[in-house]
Amino acid sequence: MIKNISKERKQYLKKIKRKRYLVLLTQLAILIIFLGVWEILADKKIIDSFITSQPSRILNTLIHLGSNDLLKHIGVTVYETIVGFLIGAIMGIIIAIILWWSDFLSRVSEPYLVVLNSLPKVALRTYYYYMGRSRYSCNYYNGNFDFTNCYNIGKFKWISKNR
């Protein structure tokens, strides 16, 4: 760094530093005021804390996140994500090498790969058991009516649900 800085340059740098601190302090003040107003409005029941929660309740939840084996579940999720990514990447590289080496397989599979690439990735699921509907289950939604009879899937009836 240059030691021979002019007095004007030092004042300019000091002014920039002060402006940076002022911006940071203003941002922190806005955040603190926002959280304070939110907490007060939720305490006074002006806003519904069930829908918007409260900063104190959110902080309490964040503090107690380590209980209930959350860290174990996060670890399992991260492990499964990494293993799934590695398996997918390795299989993709192997398939790409095979298609690169074999002109015949590349030409045969090209139209199918183009079609698969244009499909939404959600449509490529292998099974739909966890999509909320099953061939053998009743399709009750949150509405008042069901379009199919659970015991007779082929016959369509309006079945009113009693709540």
User: pLDDT at position 126, please?
Assistant: 62
Whose CA is closest to 136, among 152, 125, 147? 152
Same domain, 51 and 96: no
**Shortest CA distance to 145 belongs to which of 120, 162, 122, 125?**
162
Whether residue 163 sits in one domain with residue 138: yes
What total number of domains does the chain contain? 3
The pLDDT value given to residue 155: 45
Q: Going by C-beta distance under 8 Å and a sequence separation of 6 or more, which residues neighbour residue 54?
A: 38, 39, 42, 43
* Residues 52 and 111 grouped into a single domain: no
pLDDT tens, 43-72?
999 999 889 999 999 999 888 877 778 888
Same-domain status, 38 and 59: yes
Residues 91 and 105: their CA atoms lie apart, in Å, by 16
On whether the pTM is more than 0.75, the answer is no
- Same domain, residue pair 84 and 108: yes
Q: 54 and 81, same structural domain? A: no
- Minimal CA–CA distance to 139: which of 125, 159, 124? 159
Residue 55 sits in the same domain as residue 74: no
> Do both 83 and 52 map to the same domain?
no
Do 114 and 88 have their domain in common? Answer: yes
Which backbone phi and psi does 160 adopt, to 5 degrees?
Answer: -80, 135
Domain C-terminal end among 64, 81, 109? 64
Query: Is the same domain home to 72 and 60?
Result: no
Question: Is 129 a domain residue?
Answer: no
**Position 127: which residue type?**
Y
> Based on the domain organization, do 60 and 88 belong to the same domain?
no
Instruction: Give the HSE-up count for residue 38: Cα atoms under 13 Å, Cβ half-sphere.
Output: 16
Instruction: Please report, in tens digits, the pLDDT of each residue of the chain (163 residues total).
Output: 567 889 999 999 999 999 999 999 999 999 999 999 999 999 999 999 889 999 999 999 888 877 778 888 889 999 999 999 999 999 999 999 999 999 999 999 999 999 888 888 777 666 555 555 545 445 444 444 444 445 444 444 444 444 3
Q: Is residue 92 part of a domain?
A: yes
- Give the domain range for residue 150: 134-163
CA distance 102 to 98: 6
Are residues 57 and 6 located together in one domain of the fold? yes
**Which of the listed residues 49, 64, 79 is the one where a domain comes to its end?**
64
- 139 within a domain of the structure (yes/no): yes
Residue 88 falls within a domain, yes or no? yes
Q: What is the pLDDT of residue 1?
A: 57
